[in-house]
Amino acid sequence: MRRYLIRLGASVLVCLLLFMLADRVWRLPEPERVRSVLILAQDRTPLRAFADNEGVWRYPVTLDEVSPLYVEALLTYEDRWFYQHPGINPFALLRAGWQWLQGGQVISGGSTLTMQVARILDPHERTVAGKIQQMFRALQLEWHYSKAEILTFYLNLAPFGGPIEGVQTASFAWLHKPALALSHAEAALLAVLPQAPSRLRPDRSPELAQRYRDKVLRRMATQGVWSQEIVDDAMLEPVMKLRFQQPLKAPLFAQRMKARAFAAKVSRLQTTLDTNTQWAVDNVLRNRVNSLPEKASIGVLVVENRTGYVRAYAGSANFHDAERFGHVDMVQAVRSPGSTLKPFLYGMALDDGLVHSASLLSDVPLKLNDYAPQNFFRHFSGAVSVAQALQQSLNVPAVDVLQRLTPSVFVARLRNGGVVISFPEQAEPNLSVILGGAGTTLEDLVRGFTALARGGISIKPRFAEDDPLEERRLLSAGAAWIIQEILRSIPPPEGSTNAVGVAWKTGTSYGFRDAWAIGVSDNHTVGVWTGRPDGTPLPGRLGVAAAGPILFDVFRALPNAVDVKARRRPATVIQTDICWPLGESVAQTPVEHCHLRQQAWILDGNIPPTLPHLQQHSWSAGLQTYWVNPVTGLRVTAACNTSERSARQVAQWPLELHPWLANHMLEKIRLPAFDRSCPPGSEYQSGTQLAIRNLDASSQLYLPKDVSGQAIKGVTLDLLAEGGEGQYFWLVNGEPAGVDTKRGGLRHTFTRAGDYELTVFDMAGSVDKVSIRVISQP
């Protein structure tokens, strides 16, 4: 017996050594071979699958992502002794061989699940040599992998008909549900399909598939795994003839994630996308897409403020619509941001102590070197606060503030805060950047706006939960809070409501090529772009009308859409009343110098005065000192010999604002006429009131015509004034017409018929206006 045991042990040892040698020579094919890629939502719902190079579809799963009912049905029907045998079940092989010898055909298979996996990894012909090869590969699998790993290989590699492999793919293909949600009948169906995947495809032969399924169900009752009552109920469930459809949710996002999955060499990637939020956004786009102009598209990005997780991503309005360039991802496209950068500009100006929320700005014609910015609707508002300039998206005040901050500093701070601004090669930042004269992406804009809800710190959008957290300081907490409060006061678009308390900003690029709306609530930041991906214009499509309603549709559809928390004001922010035109607090300003009170948000206790004007021919807000003769109350010069002259002061508005001031404001700053006993010495100081000459409300001009009756060139008029002090500044319908430095008249040509308002103001701030009419000759 001892010799026998020694020989047996030696034989086993030799066999083991030979097996180990063979294992090294004929290596087991890698089970983690190149596969298709599956992109998943956060709840593991498939978003989109990408076939491998052979066109095979696989949705990789783990063992815990498959219903235990399926595992029970599979092991009971295919391999009851899976956890006991070493990869080969000799009793099953002997039974299968005996049945083949007796019947001359295969009655029951002898292959274990391990052997089936071996054949998938290393296909062979149905010969004795092929079977030996299969058994050897099965032993290799058991040598290198655990039972759980081998079962997982089967779950992912088993054929289920056509290009479908793996139980998860089959479950979505034939049952339209995940493998974790299978019923008893569905589990039995999927357990039997790999036996004859082509013949039993439910989309082709549902009756045959049902007969084989019922066979499995009866086996489950016979083996006592499932009760007869459960099996009887399951057999009542019909096999439906469902069409195989690939999931296609957030297709451009999934395509973007596919590249990441390939780079990481993973066959599936679980993202942060929320299924319900994505569905809500897709539904908004479905409702909106038919109202878009031809070739127009939409991009939407939804980011959770706290985590930075991307919860919804729509790169286009309709992925399948080639006419709308549905394959172009507008979340990543570099486009002109229009006015959407203005909140960051004013936030930085707050941080630098240049302004507070009610600082006086001038929305008037402005020319800096050769650059003369215009407001979008080609008119000016005169005196505006920082809050009004931002809410109304006025261009001139923004350029004015940017000139002081400097474009290079502004762009550098944006980039440092995570908002990348792109310029043409070798181009430098300039003043036009604040009006859209550069490029950025919807993704970067959304990142920047998250700072408004996160204490001034932006967060980079995260596409997977293991993405690193990247935060950047863009604004101080106080500046971010103030800007958010200003933007929250903007009324929603017509037909929309702002129950969520959204702080939002729109933008329209030059030529109506891009329409934007970016909004921030407590929980989410949402960005919307609409336009034509090919860059052709859509005249008249403004951000507020084209993108704004979509923005509020998305916010209304988001989860927790009405969860508005009490917003905590930073300790660095206080509210106080300030005075125009000086810009200082009411407490610091004498009553006679406080022409208009404004309520302001103040940062860090800093109340900066009104900014000095940039143009040399103008003056800034401030106290103007003048001398009066106390006897007559008239003005005298400082050099006058009147012994009892006294100094007076008046709070002056910036000179360029005078044409826009109401009459009662002008009266407050109008200086007394000069005393004839002590007149000024300058020829430009006449001591008489400023007035336009030779024109009044009844004045009419006629456009001349040529012999064919067509208007030619226009009609030219000399604009003349008298009185006042210093040179004359002329405006025609609020637009600068020129400066009459010598007070001899300014020639102006009217080229179109219509009503015109002529305005003149002088160095003392006096203003006179008159309206005239230009008429086409009959």
Distance CA 479, CA 192 (A): 65
Catalytic annotation on 339? yes
List of residues 6+ apart from 127 with CB closer than 8 A: none
Instruction: Locate 529 and state its tokens.
Output: 């772009």
DSSP structure class, residue 653: P
Q: Is the dihedral of CA 641, 642, 643, 644 positive or negative?
A: negative
The greatest distance separating any two alpha carbons of the chain, rounded to the nearest whole angstrom, comes to: 146
Q: Which of 111, 205, 339, 458 is catalytic?
A: 339
One DSSP character per residue, 291-324 reads: TSPTT-EEEEEEEETTT-BEEEEESSS-TT-GGG
Contact 626, 650 (CB under 8 A): yes
CA angle 708, 709, 714 (to 5 degrees): 115
Catalytic annotation on 78? yes
Identity (one letter) of the amino acid at 121? L
Q: What is the number of other CB atoms lying within 10 angstroms of the CB of residue 43? A: 11
Map residue 639 onto helix, strand or coil: coil
> Which among 173, 153, 175 is positioned nearest to 74, based on CA atoms?
153
One DSSP character per residue, 191-225 reads: HHGGGSTTTT-TTT-HHHHHHHHHHHHHHHHHTTS
For tokens 């190079």, name the residue: 53
One DSSP character per residue, 42-103 reads: TTS-EEEEE--TT--EE----GGGS-HHHHHHHHHHH-TTTTTSSS--HHHHHHHHHHHHHH
Q: Which of 36, 72, 78, 476 is catalytic?
A: 78
List of residues 6+ apart from 333 with CB closer than 8 A: 299, 441, 442, 529, 533
List of residues 6+ apart from 604 with CB closer than 8 A: 353, 478, 572
Contact 767, 760 (CB under 8 A): yes
Catalytic residues: 78, 339
